[in-house]
Amino acid sequence: MIFDETAHPHRRYNPLSDRWVQVSPNRNQRPWQGKEEAPAETIRPTHDSNCYLCPRNTRVGGVKNPDYPDTFIFTNDFSSLTDPCPPATDTGHPLLRRGSVSGTCRVFCYSPRHDLTLAEMPLGAICKVVDAWAGQTEELGRRYPWVQIFENKGAIMGCSNPHPHGQIWGVDRLPEEARREDACQRAWHADHGKTLLADYLRLEEERGERIVATNDTWTVLVPFWALWPFETLVLPRRPAARLTDLTDAERAGLADILQRLTVRYDNLFETSFPYTMGWHGAPWGNGPTTHWHLHAHFYPPLLRSATVQKFMVGYEMLGEGQRDFTPEEAAQRLRALPDAHYALSA
């Protein structure tokens, strides 16, 4: 038998986080008995008086939101982290290790419009989001080694409020994903003299089969080692280390590529596409950052329709992560979709 990556189970290595993933393309043929009806798309008002993120509304803690014209950032009224936080004491037993963590958690409203998402926002408004991400990175990076920007989108991802928003945390130490990516990128740079993702990007640009969209300054691709069905990696073509290092042209290019990616995601199943996304930029205050290549991960849970989602259970929890169809097929499907949003162009 001759190996065929589109038919035969195999494993792929994620060099960015040092993990293996199992690809099982043969599982495409299995029967599906779960429910598949399309979800009711509710038409949302531009302002919702019950939304704690809309302008002029009062939040749970009693604070009133300003009448903000574009973006708005506030400290989470229910922050996961505090600063200061009492240092964790030693338990005295090596099998009961604990450590300290302190930081701050902010909520970031992308727009005063309750009814929009990144995919539906005009390019100028997405530019404001990019500028705010960079500004927050700069400010929190002065106080914390790790700045985690992320967005949970969609009820399926546990996000209760459809108002377009994300979160920004400043943390006083590297969390697990950051620690893994720092070690992998550091080792690659020491051996090859270039960033891991610069070498990877060159390879992908030559091959083309996993590219979703590209412009002068950015590329979006489905990584060779993607675990989630339509997972993507958003990469600056120049190896910038952080959002704060981007030129004006790169910021504009980022707004463009984010729009093209999120529109494609919505077009895939003609639904407001759920995902968790977030930025990984170089840690602060830990010496040179030449090994680190800025990137965003998009991790969407949908598998084959607006309602059929991928669950990370069973072998995924007990063995290793597994995907069904190949990353190349995911890229090909996303690449083929139009740049115009299905709901806006109707």
List, by residue number, the catalytic residues.
Answer: 165
Which member of 12, 106, 114, 335 binds Zn ion (CB under 5 A)? 114
Select from 37-45, 72-80, 160-168, 249-257 the region that touches Zn ion (CB under 5 A). 160-168
Select from 47-55, 196-204, 236-244, 266-274 the region that touches Zn ion (CB under 5 A). 47-55
Q: Nearest residue to ligand H2U, using CB?
A: 59
Number of neighbours of residue 311 by Cβ within 10 angstroms: 9
Give which of Zn ion, ligand H2U, none residue 326 binds (C-beta under 5 to 8 Å, depending on kind).
Answer: none
Give which of ligand H2U, Zn ion, none residue 9 binds (C-beta under 5 to 8 Å, depending on kind).
Answer: none
Residue 163 in the binding site for Zn ion (CB under 5 A): yes
Per-residue DSSP letters for 184-197? Answer: HHHHHHHHHSS-HH
What does the block give as tokens for 307? 């309602």
* Cα angle for residues 254, 136, 113 (degrees, 5° grid): 65
Least distance in angstroms from the C-beta of 108 to ligand H2U? 9
Least distance in angstroms from the C-beta of 65 to Zn ion? 9
CA–CA dist 1, 22 (Å, integer): 20
Residue 113 in the binding site for Zn ion (CB under 5 A): no
Residue 59 in the binding site for ligand H2U (CB under 6 A): yes
- H/E stretch holding 13: strand 10-14
Q: Which of 232, 239, 284, 280 is nearest to 260 (CA)?
A: 232
Half-sphere exposure of 121 (CA within 13 A, CB side): 29
Residue 22 in the binding site for ligand H2U (CB under 6 A): no
Inter-axis angle of helices 123-141 and 248-269, nearest 10: 120
Which residues of the chain form contacts with Zn ion (CB under 5 A)?
48, 51, 53-54, 114, 163
Which residues of the chain form contacts with ligand H2U (CB under 6 A)?
52, 59-61, 76-78, 107, 152, 159-161, 167
